[in-house]
Amino acid sequence: MKQEQSVGVVEKHTFTFATEEPMHLESGASLGPVTIAYETYGRLNAERTNAILIVHALSGSAHAAGYHRADDAKPGWWDECIGPGKAFDTDRFYVICSNVLGSCYGSTGPSSVNPATGKPYGLSFPVVTIGDMVQAQVKLLDHLGIDQLLCVAGGSMGGMQVLEWAANHPTRLKSAIPLATTAHHSPMLIAFSEVGRQAIYADPAWANGDYYELGKKPDAGLAVARMVGHITYLSEESMQKKFGRRLRSLEQYGYEFETEFEIESYLKYNGNSFTRRFDANSYLYITKAMDYFDLSRHTGSMAAAFANAESVKFLVVSFTSDWLYPSYHSKEVVSALTAVGADVSYLDIQSTWGHDAFLLEVETMTALLGSFLDRLAHEEGVTFPPVEGEDRGEDRPASAPERVMV
Amino acid sequence: MKQEQSVGVVEKHTFTFATEEPMHLESGASLGPVTIAYETYGRLNAERTNAILIVHALSGSAHAAGYHRADDAKPGWWDECIGPGKAFDTDRFYVICSNVLGSCYGSTGPSSVNPATGKPYGLSFPVVTIGDMVQAQVKLLDHLGIDQLLCVAGGSMGGMQVLEWAANHPTRLKSAIPLATTAHHSPMLIAFSEVGRQAIYADPAWANGDYYELGKKPDAGLAVARMVGHITYLSEESMQKKFGRRLRSLEQYGYEFETEFEIESYLKYNGNSFTRRFDANSYLYITKAMDYFDLSRHTGSMAAAFANAESVKFLVVSFTSDWLYPSYHSKEVVSALTAVGADVSYLDIQSTWGHDAFLLEVETMTALLGSFLDRLAHEEGVTFPPVEGEDRGEDRPASAPERVMV
């Protein structure tokens, strides 16, 4: 555990709802009880106005920052941006991250036991949507006694949840930061999702989703799905920089089918290690939720979807080398938000890192998000909780912006 | 069969060499005997100077134009560009197309029977390279009595063979047309290849390559590999135009895992139909040959690789929306060719069709290639064979350029 600027050792909590009345899903199906795993970092101020919800991407979890045990080798998935003095400054803000509905990190999903049968749901789990994921997050906020978030932020599928929050629960948030995302999954994104799903279906160990009690999981198929994903998270340029045509160990071509190129080794390693941490059925359900995501589906236009979001302040961010969610997707969002008169800042950040940039451009993100949140807290008169160790008897007031806007 | 402008019913020929002395491969391994399947369209002139070699991409065959039987529903793979009055005008030129070494359309490959064992080679087939494919084509030309080609042309992996021809057999050709290609497979290309291979390896029916006599082929894995490939042949824009987010039949989402979006249906159809026409092991061998392709590997620089190609006339073509072989790959080739003083024309064609553009932009290609070949034939004083039905007793002289250069 690296102590410096870390939130330290954190704990995963769970919250269960829909125990009596089931949760009504967008599909018309019902689900209950529903458990949501979540973590929190920092402290809520007395007015309960400094809460920020972090929403994660396809394979993320509630463990966004800190360490579960002091000897953990790796911190949470967005630790570089969440902690004391970081982009989401836990000295000032109360940061919440929950695992999405349908995932496999403590929230109810296809690998959960269906109380009606005593067996894992498998494919009997209902198809969930981005809207359903957000609905579960709303329940969590109710449970935590937070009426209004200062901000909801996330990249990729996280960004879709951010847009869903702003469109359908605008009174529950002051600001929204959708990063490297889209308001509707493009056919190319659907195509990549579908190839991943087909790789899982093609694995005989998938057993139509009922593999949990068979002693064998569809690891081969899931690994291929993840490898496809990994290619789309990088850019041609970042692959060129990171791997080029370098061979793993040989000086000369081996003229056989072993893993030879470094890029092959990288993909294989990431594909295989993913199978040790993720559930194949969750991969199916979550990619399906992304494919279904189309913010203007019920309203006809994106601007109409944002009709009630004019009071939400937006920071929209895209990255120049992200070919999975190209900048023009974000520009469409900005255009729709501008049409309804929302307060929008938009940045198309120069980066060679492709879609992964939202996780890798830490310095830029720290300056940019920090500055946006500073200004917001100042404008909204948000008080910060007392600094630990200090005993000033009152909350600190929000300071004027300190960081430089990029 | 559509008669108009067609070469009509054509026949597949085979040529077998290395029957006594084996063929020496770039890897150091030997192979023999080697059979190459080929087709020819049009007629060779008296001076044997009007021959054009067409080289195909990953899944192509010798059947580039015309029909094998009058009731064939589909013509050869590049029929739109090969025929009377087409880009490769068979009234004027003698067009040859052969199936690459390692493929499964009549040339020796992993599905061929190893005469030493009486069983299909499977993975005992040696790894072949683009250089080996071209070496086999050289043998075919020797067999056909053609000392020098007027042109060698092809796209994608075909373009790699074109570059290999120009770099290593420059005296055997007057001109070269590499389309939508690269002089060295990038890490992103290797990554996509490797994912396809991993999908095949992951299929238990692959049986380490020895599936030919088991009654079951690794169709599921090969279909996934092909689906990945298909995504890379399109562009985001062409997918948007062609499929958008349209559903196949439902008005509403089905909230299940059946094929729902048109893009899913397209991929699945193409993936599955590919398994009926292509061999999974050939997919492994040919993608490996592409991954190994690096024209400057033995020379240190691309210009050094082209050191003896200054007498070859080049028409290099890329397409603006091709993200698999982006234009800058072609520009690198042009730069290296310019450095050695070769005669190079380069066009980066505006197209929304992605990598597939080289097959789809027929009108542009017809004007462009036709004009280039007209000029070339004129400059080289190439005579055209007598028009069938006419009996002028002598070959027609090449005319001055007639077509408009794009």
Per-window interface: B 258-287 vs A, CB < 8 A: 261-264, 267-268, 271, 284
The string of DSSP letters for A266-321 reads: HHHHHHHHHHTT--HHHHHHHHHHHHH-BTTTTTSSHHHHTTT-TTSEEEEEEETT
Q: Which of A250, A271, A292 is the last residue of a domain?
A: A292
Query: By the 8 A CB rule, do A64 and A79 touch?
Result: yes
Same-domain pairing of A159 and A191: no
Query: In this structure, are A73 and A195 located in the same domain?
Result: no
A199 and B199 within 8 Å at the Cβ level: the answer is yes
A396 has pLDDT over 90: no
Question: Could you tell me the CA-to-CA distances from B356 to A151, A240, B153 in Å, in that order?
Answer: 44, 23, 16
Q: Is the peptide bond before A33 cis (omega within 30 degrees of 0)?
A: yes
Cα angle: A283, vertex A288, A289; to 5 degrees: 105
B252, HSE (Cβ side, Cα atoms, 13 Å):
6
CATH number of A46's domain: 3.40.50.1820
Question: In this structure, what CATH number is given to the domain that contains residue B200?
Answer: 1.10.1740.110
What is the model's pLDDT at position B405?
32
pLDDT at A393: 46
Q: Which two tokens stand for residue B348?
A: 């980066």
Query: Would you tell me the crossing angle of helices A187-201 and A219-233 to the nearest 10 degrees?
Result: 160
Question: Does residue A273 sit in the same domain as residue A286?
Answer: yes
**Does A300 lie in the same domain as A285?**
no
Contact A264 B228 (CB under 8 A): no
Residues A288, A301 share a domain: no
Kindly state the DSSP code that residue A212 receives in the 8-state scheme.
T
Q: How many domains does chain B have?
A: 2
Percent helix, percent strand, percent coil in chain A, to nearest 5 = 35, 15, 45
Q: Do A155 and A220 sit in the same domain of this protein?
A: no
**Residues A112-117, mean pLDDT to the nearest whole number:** 96
Q: Are residues B276 and B331 in the same domain?
A: no
Find tokens 């139509």 and name the residue: A208
Q: Is the pLDDT of residue A13 over 90?
A: yes
Token couple for A387: 């600094």
Residues B210, B336: one domain? Answer: no
Distances (CA, A) of B278 to B31, B58, B226, B274: 22, 10, 10, 6
pLDDT tops 50 at residue A235: yes
| CA count, 13 A, side-chain hemisphere, A220 | 20
Task: Flag whether pLDDT at A174 surpasses 70.
Answer: yes
Output the CA angle A298-A301-A305, nearest 5 degrees: 60
In this predicted structure, what is the pLDDT of residue A176?
98
> Which domain range does residue B206 map to?
187-292
A53: left (phi over 0), alpha (psi -120 to 50) or beta: beta
- Examine the fold and report which residue of A292, A315, A332 is the final residue of a domain before the chain moves on: A292
Q: What is the pLDDT at residue A199? A: 98
Could you tell me if B155 and B194 lie in one domain? no
Taking residues A94-115, what's their average pLDDT? 98
For position A392, what pLDDT does the model report? 47
Whether residues B199 and B344 fall in one domain: no
Of A292, A327, A360, which residue constitutes the final position of a domain?
A: A292
Q: Has A63 been annotated as catalytic?
A: no
Q: Tens digits of per-residue pLDDT, A256-307?
A: 998 899 999 999 999 999 999 999 999 999 999 999 999 999 999 999 999 9
* Stretch 238-257 of chain B: residues touching chain A, C-beta under 8 Å: 239-240, 242-245, 253, 255-257
Say if residue B139 is in the same domain as residue B205: no
Alpha helices in A63-156 (DSSP H): 130-144
For the segment A193-200, the average pLDDT, to the nearest whole number, is 98
- If pLDDT is split at 50, 70 and 90, which confidence band does A116 have? very high
Between chains, do B202 and A221 touch, taking CB under 8 Å as contact?
yes
Q: How far apart are CA A290 and CA A189, in angstroms?
A: 9
Single out the residue of B125, B368, B27, B163 nearest to residue A252, CA to CA: B27
Nearest to B191 among A184, A199, A267 (CB): A267
Q: Residues 307-326, chain A: which have Cβ within 8 Å of B?
A: 323, 326
Q: What is the pLDDT of residue A70?
A: 93
Are A123 and B257 an interchain contact pair (Cβ–Cβ within 8 Å)?
A: yes
Nearest residue to B150 (alpha-carbon basis) of B49, B11, B258, B274: B49
The Cα B358–Cα B180 span in angstroms is 7
**Residues of chain B below pLDDT 50:** 391-393, 400-406
**What is the mean predicted confidence (pLDDT) over A162-181?**
98
Q: What is the pLDDT of residue A5?
A: 87
CA distance A344 to A349: 16
% of chain A with per-residue pLDDT over 70:
94
- The whole-model pTM stands at 0.93
Amino acid identity, position A199: A
Q: Which of A316, A398, A334, A376 has the alpha carbon at shortest distance from A174?
A: A376
Structure confidence at residue A402 (pLDDT): 40
Residue B397 has a pLDDT of 54
Residue B332 and residue B269 share a domain: no
